[in-house]
Amino acid sequence: MSPIDGLIIYIIHPLLNLLMLVVIVGVILSWLISFNVVNGQNQFVGMIWRMTNAITEPLLGPIRRVLPTLGGMDFSPIILILLIGFVQGYVLTELVRLF
C-alpha cells in the first residue's frame, strides 16, 4: 500500500463521512428549530447550529446560488450529500487505483 492509499483510506474518507454527518445534523436541526421542537435561543442548540452552519455553509452556498428553491424547499443539502457520495464512491476509489 502506497502512502497516498493510506491518506485516502484513513484520513479523507472518514472526513467525508464526518462532513456528511454534519450536513444531516444541520438539516435535522433546522427542521427542529423551524417547527419549534427545540429552542434556537438555547445556548447548546445555538452552539450546534452555529457550528454546523460554519462547516456546511461554504459548501452549500455555491449550490444554493446555482440551484433554485422550489416552493420554499432547500435541496442543496441533498445535492451536497450526493456529491460527497460520488467523491467517496468514485473519485477516491479511482485515486487509489491510480496510485
- pLDDT for 98 beyond 80: no
Helix 13-34 crosses helix 76-86 at what angle (to 10 degrees)? 170
Q: For residue range 17-61, what is the model confidence (pLDDT) as tens digits?
A: 999 999 999 999 999 999 999 999 999 999 999 999 999 999 999
The rounded percent of the chain whose pLDDT value lies above 70 is 99
* Number of domains the chain contains: 1
Residue 83 lies in a domain: no
Residue 2 lies in a domain: yes
Task: Measure the CA–CA gap between 45 and 6, rounded to whole angstroms.
Answer: 36
Residue 34 lies in a domain: yes
Residues 6+ apart with CB under 8 A from 59: 19, 80
Mean pLDDT of the region 69-75: 85
Residue 25 lies in a domain: yes
The range of the structural domain enclosing residue 28 comes to: 1-57
Residue 78 lies in a domain: no
- pLDDT for 92 beyond 90: no
- Scanning the chain, the segments in alpha helix (DSSP H) are 3-7, 13-34, 43-66, 76-86, 92-98
Residue 71 lies in a domain: no
- pLDDT for 1 beyond 70: no
